[in-house]
Amino acid sequence: MPYPASMEDSKRKVEETRSRRIEKGPPERIPAEERTALVPKFHPDFIKEQFRELRIGPNKGGRAPLEIADLLEGNSRIDPDRIDLDKIDHDVDVLVVGCGGAGGAASLLAEENGASVLISSKLRLGDANTIGAQAGTQGCDRPNDSPLLHYLDIMGGGHYVNVPELAEALAKDSPDVIKWLEELGVNWDKEPDNSYHELSGGGASRRRMHSCRDYTGLEEMRVIRDEIRQRNWHGRKIDWLEFEPAIELLMDDKGQVAGAILMNLETRQMSIVRAKAVVIATGGMGRTHIQGFPTTNHYGATADGLVLAYRVSCHLVHMDTMQYHPTGAAFPPQILGFLVTEKVRTLGAEIVNCDGEQFVHPLEARDTEASAEIRECKERGKGVSTPTGEVGLWLDSPMVDIKRGAGTIQRELPAMVRQFGRFDIDIIKEPMLVYPTLHYQNGGIVINADAATPIPGLFAAGECEGGVHGRNRLIGNSTLDLFVFGRRAGRAAAKWVKEVKLGKLTLDHVRKWQREIKEAGLEEMPVSPMLLPNYARQERYVPGFQPLGQVSPYTPFGDRAVRWI
Amino acid sequence: MAQETRVAEEGKVEEKVKMLDIYIMGKRYKVPDAGLTIQAALEYCGYNLIRGCGCREGFCGACATIYNFTYDPTIKYGLACQTVVEQNMVITQIPFFPAAESLYNVGDLQPKEGVNKLAELYPDILTCFGCNNCTKTCPQNLEVMEFVSDAIRGDYEKVYEKSFDCLLCGLCAARCPQGLQPYNIALAGRRLRGAYLAPKSQHNLDRVKEIEEGNFDADMEKLKKMSADELRELYAKREIEPAL
């Protein structure tokens, strides 16, 4: 019996109300007016005291979450006066910082277009958020669909503040991304008539989510990573460095980006990369644990790319909006915050409260769905409490098999069955307990449709860039974003390196940054980029001990045995 | 949960947590018996992880771990982020294992009648003598030896089906007495299957062509110029296709 007795009563109500819920059907979708009232009242993006104005840099005066603001205003990890820029360790055309789906795609396209490529990866090649993406990738390729409908969904989901050119690129490239991945050897789910098996998703008006069981991101990433390795077939033009993230960008005396300084995490040696173009593909920020939320993100999701870009005066957009995935695991505590894919709901699972009542349509856009859940728990008191003090709502997964026939869950959601099975919860027979979890950075570095930033030679792709999704990203559009803008960045970077002549390398931008920090009286800010979170428990203060990662001052360690999962 | 709770006189809940002995690479530590995963236990003991940690959700295979117990020498396998520590557990991680992948160009993987591409790439697979160690190591509980046999027979479809949930953690290769790399063999098999044997989806190819030909460009320009209010109106009116 995996669920404790205190939760059993409520679980029984979920079971008892199933037939009634089937009869009744899902609640109406929330009308636009109600949605505009609901989200500001309950969504974490609207808790004013959790944000502050930035005091320096290109977004000065703009708002950011406290945790992100600290990093953006952080001190450099280097002393520019003690770095000899005449000693170059790696001289390449394109440096790609980060190697998830976006960095991988950028590397492949840059290589195909004639550039030599070096990848700087903080963890192993490909150990990124991409690999944990489960639900699927949108592609508007069914006959009743079109890039126009996809565009409308993207804009509506994003509250109409998306950059139109970027939303257009996302929609128009999507069928080709699906095709490209298949040509590389990705095994998409198919229907008996050979068409793609496509499901609907929250906020999407058509079924356009392509999947590989519920290991979509894993399948995409392992193929991309393998392809990067295999490109050595025709001579080594893609090289990579693992556990060696970028800690500062290099510029030249003409104001162009000219490479980066990397740090080997194991030896803490620094190396200098001269590159004619740099693609930032560092992903998201979940491990900063904004507002103390658990996260679905991987261990290295610490917003490093935002910091690198900000220091060379790139603007960031929509930094005051993060996505909280409506269904993070709230029980058992070993997988707190763990991503329960939206696919569970697209297949027919319902979100119900402690009394077994369905209070929201299961396929609202994510900010709406998450806000409705928070309202149900905080305002209406209809959440289910766990022994460790979490609160959650039931995600009634057995409904999937009831609606679609026995065996559907096992076939479509093997990862979910396995992950909960490890903790003796059988999601085929029992519901899961869920609550919103920190999932995605909606905004980020400003780019154009070529994934180029306004700084010459600097490109950004994937979760670290902003404007594509406005203030809220839809399911299946993030893995799409990776490949759309990763490919565009790779192509554009390769083109750029053919034209550019680098001048003399300089770290003057870092000197200038440190001066600004001093003038603003911010010398006490932590160093950034953060690189890794610090989850290591340290019982006593050790003089001189400098842990690699950082602890957020806003979510203190306290007495908890485990900081974060 | 092994946390004992008792209500003290003044009504406060006091927690008394039992401690477990675990051994990290032979060194003994004490950690609370509160359902910690191996990964959380390492961090509880003060390790600031660099290697051996990735998605922390059981998807990336970075935290492949081997363990046994002081009283039971049988080697066991798991992902550190998904395996809960137990009393007297002896733990070591395999964050990297040398396994040279065969090189190929996916464009040259086109299957041919009578040629087993996987045996061509990995001729050593023929030396598998069926000890089944690979299957025993798999933290995903896949039938590893079976898909190696399928690879020997050149049955790409079966390789795909049986190996699909593979995380490429590398534990199978670490334990293979013949030095085979089941995870890389299966990866090549799946890529071959995805690129060449999976049926083509014509509706996708048609749409790609329509977009290339600019069929949607004029309407897209109109949409891009619309104000938020105009878009909002269209959005509200759009027809939503029912879920499958």
Q: Which residues of B touch A131 (CB under 8 A)?
A: 54-55, 59-60
Average pLDDT over residues B190-211: 97
pLDDT at A553 over 50: yes
pLDDT at B6: 40
* pLDDT range class, residue A537, cuts 50, 70, 90: confident
pLDDT at A551 over 80: no
Average pLDDT over residues B103-125: 91
Q: Which carries the bigger pLDDT value, residue A564 or residue A214?
A: A214
Average pLDDT over residues A225-247: 89
* Cis-peptide into A387, omega within 30 deg: no
Parse chain A into domains and list their residue ranges: 5-30+322-438, 80-321+442-503
What does pTM read for this prediction? 0.94
**Would you call B49 and A299 a contact, using CB atoms and an 8 Å cutoff?**
yes
pLDDT at B99: 85
pLDDT at A546: 73
Average pLDDT over residues A534-559: 74
pLDDT at B10: 42
pLDDT at B15: 54
SS3 state of residue A278 = strand
Task: Copy the structure tokens of residue A472.
Answer: 């809220």
Average pLDDT over residues A3-24: 95
In A357-431, the DSSP E strands lie at 384-385, 391-396
Class at the top of the CATH hierarchy for domain A5-30+322-438: alpha beta
Average pLDDT over residues A366-394: 94
Q: Which of A21, A35, A289, A345 is catalytic?
A: A345
Contact A165/B at CB under 8 A: yes
Give CA A137 to chain center in angstroms. Answer: 14
- Among A459, A523, A129, A90, smallest CA distance to A303 is for A129
Cβ-nearest to A187 among B37, B194, B219: B194
Q: Do domains B17-93 and B97-244 have the same CATH topology?
A: no
DSSP string, A147-182: HHHHHHHHHHHTTT-S-HHHHHHHHHHHHHHHHHHH
Class at the top of the CATH hierarchy for domain B97-244: mainly alpha
Task: Copy the structure tokens of residue B133.
Answer: 């160690």
Q: Which residues of B touch A187 (CB under 8 A)?
A: 160, 164, 190, 193-194, 198
* DSSP state for residue A534 in the 8-state scheme: -
| Per-residue H/E/C for B84-126 | ECCCCEEEEECCCCCCCCCCCCHHHCCCCCCCCHHHHHCHHHH
Q: Which residues of A touch B223 (CB under 8 A)?
A: 148, 151-152, 164
pLDDT at B3: 39
Which residues does B44 contact at the CB level (< 8 Å), separation at least 6? A537, A561, A562, B31, B32, B36
* Cis-peptide into A332, omega within 30 deg: yes
Cβ-nearest to B62 among A123, A218, A338: A123
CB pairs under 8 A between A and B: 247
Neighbours of B212 (CB within 10 A): 11
**Would you call B43 and A333 a contact, using CB atoms and an 8 Å cutoff?**
no
d(CA A103, CA A62): 28
Neighbours of A132 (CB within 10 A): 26
Give CA A113 to chain center in angstroms. Answer: 27
User: What residue in B sits closest to A235 (Cα-Cα)?
Assistant: B103
pLDDT at A560: 63
d(CA A115, CA A109): 9
d(CA A311, CA A385): 44
**Would you call A131 and B55 a contact, using CB atoms and an 8 Å cutoff?**
yes
Q: Which carries the bigger pLDDT value, residue A260 or residue A419?
A: A260
pLDDT at A141 over 80: yes
Task: Copy the structure tokens of residue A443.
Answer: 């905004």
pLDDT in tens, A402-436: 999 999 999 999 989 998 998 899 999 999 999 99
**Would you call B140 and A141 a contact, using CB atoms and an 8 Å cutoff?**
no
Neighbours of A181 (CB within 10 A): 26
Compute the mean pLDDT over every residue in chain A, rounded to the nearest whole number.
94
pLDDT at B14 over 60: no
**Would you call B105 and A124 a contact, using CB atoms and an 8 Å cutoff?**
no
**Would you call B231 and A152 a contact, using CB atoms and an 8 Å cutoff?**
yes
Q: Which CATH number fits domain B17-93: 3.40.50.300, 3.10.20.30, 3.30.499.10, 3.40.718.10?
A: 3.10.20.30
pLDDT at A106 over 80: yes
One-letter identity of residue B59: F
Q: Phi and psi dihedrals of A110, rounded to 5?
A: -65, -40
Average pLDDT over residues B205-231: 98
Neighbours of A414 (CB within 10 A): 16
Average pLDDT over residues B6-20: 58
**Would you call A338 and B50 a contact, using CB atoms and an 8 Å cutoff?**
no
* Numbers of helices and strands, H then E, in chain B: 10, 7
* pLDDT range class, residue B1, cuts 50, 70, 90: very low
Task: Copy the structure tokens of residue A27.
Answer: 């609640």
d(CA A279, CA A102): 9
pLDDT at B7: 40
Which residues does A503 contact at the CB level (< 8 Å), separation at least 6? A252, A253, A254, A256, A258
Average pLDDT over residues A39-65: 96
pLDDT at A104: 98
pLDDT at A540 over 80: no
Q: Is A325 a catalytic residue?
A: yes
- Strand partners of residue A520: none
Cβ-nearest to B241 among A200, A333, A419: A200
pLDDT at A347 over 60: yes
Average pLDDT over residues B197-209: 97
pLDDT at A35 over 90: no
Q: Which residues of A touch B101 (CB under 8 A)?
A: 226, 229
Q: Which residues of B touch A188 (CB under 8 A)?
A: 194, 198, 201
Q: Which residues of A touch B224 (CB under 8 A)?
A: 164-165, 168
SS3 state of residue B165 = coil
In A99-256, the DSSP E strands lie at 117-120, 137-138, 198-199, 209-210, 238-241, 246-252
Contact A399/B at CB under 8 A: no
Measure in Å the smallest separation between the Cα of B48 and chain A Cα atoms.
Answer: 5
Task: Copy the structure tokens of residue A477.
Answer: 């559009």
pLDDT at A168 over 90: yes
Average pLDDT over residues A357-384: 94
* Cis-peptide into A414, omega within 30 deg: no
Cβ-nearest to B54 among A124, A332, A538: A124
Q: Which residues of A touch B195 (CB under 8 A)?
A: 182-185
**Would you call B1 and A565 a contact, using CB atoms and an 8 Å cutoff?**
no
Average pLDDT over residues B215-231: 97
- Cβ pair A432, A397 in contact under 8 A: yes
Work out the burial of residue B34: count CB atoms within 10 Å of its CB; fewer than 13 is exposed, 13-18 middle, 19 or more buried: buried
Average pLDDT over residues A387-416: 94
Average pLDDT over residues B81-88: 95
* DSSP state for residue B75 in the 8-state scheme: E
Q: Which residues of B touch A338 (CB under 8 A)?
A: 57
pLDDT at B17: 78
pLDDT at A334: 82
d(CA A444, CA A312): 14
Buried b or exposed e, range A375-401, using 16+ CB within 10 angstroms: bbbeeeebbbbbbeebbbbbbbbbbbb
pLDDT at B37: 92
Distances, alpha carbon B128 to alpha carbons A351, A445, B98, B170, B178, in Å: 48, 51, 19, 17, 7
pLDDT at A548: 75
SS3 state of residue A397 = coil
Average pLDDT over residues A437-443: 96
**Would you call A127 and B239 a contact, using CB atoms and an 8 Å cutoff?**
no
Q: Which residues of A touch B29 (CB under 8 A)?
A: none
pLDDT at A285: 96
pLDDT at A557: 59
* DSSP state for residue A255 in the 8-state scheme: S
d(CA B145, CA B178): 13
Task: Copy the structure tokens of residue A431.
Answer: 């519901």
Contact A538/B at CB under 8 A: yes
Q: Do domains A5-30+322-438 and A80-321+442-503 have the same CATH topology?
A: no
Contact A19/B at CB under 8 A: no
pLDDT at B35 over 90: no
pLDDT at A33: 87
d(CA A114, CA A136): 31
Q: Is A21 a catalytic residue?
A: no
- Cβ pair B48, A550 in contact under 8 A: no
pLDDT at B107 over 80: yes
Task: Copy the structure tokens of residue A216.
Answer: 């979509």
Q: Which of A325, A361, A439, A509 is catalytic?
A: A325
Average pLDDT over residues B111-127: 93
- Strand partners of residue A550: A533
Cβ-nearest to A143 among B141, B190, B203: B203
pLDDT at B11 over 50: no
- Residue of A127, A191, A205 best to disrupt the B interface, most CBs of B under 10 A: A127
Contact A518/B at CB under 8 A: no
Q: Phi and psi dihedrals of A532, rounded to 5?
A: -140, 155
What residues 34-63 of chain A have any CB closer than 8 A to a CB of chain B? none
pLDDT at B2 over 50: no
Q: Which residues of B touch A538 (CB under 8 A)?
A: 46
pLDDT in tens, A294-332: 999 999 999 999 999 999 999 999 999 999 999 999 999
pLDDT at A556: 62
Contact A256/B at CB under 8 A: no
A444-446: strand order across its sheet: A316-317, A444-446, A465-466
- Residue of B5, B50, B57 best to disrupt the A interface, most CBs of A under 10 A: B57
CATH topology of domain A80-321+442-503: FAD/NAD(P)-binding domain (3.50.50)
Contact A182/B at CB under 8 A: yes
- Residue of A183, A334, A483 best to disrupt the B interface, most CBs of B under 10 A: A334
pLDDT at B5 over 50: no
**Would you call B231 and A156 a contact, using CB atoms and an 8 Å cutoff?**
yes
Average pLDDT over residues B72-91: 95
**Would you call A132 and B199 a contact, using CB atoms and an 8 Å cutoff?**
no
Place of tokens 């008191």: A381
pLDDT at A541: 74
DSSP string, A80-108: GGG--TT--SEEEEEEEE--SHHHHHHHH
DSSP 3-state percent helix, strand, coil across chain A (nearest 5): 35, 20, 45
* Cis-peptide into A143, omega within 30 deg: no
- Among A202, A203, A222, A204, smallest CA distance to A212 is for A222
pLDDT at A265: 95
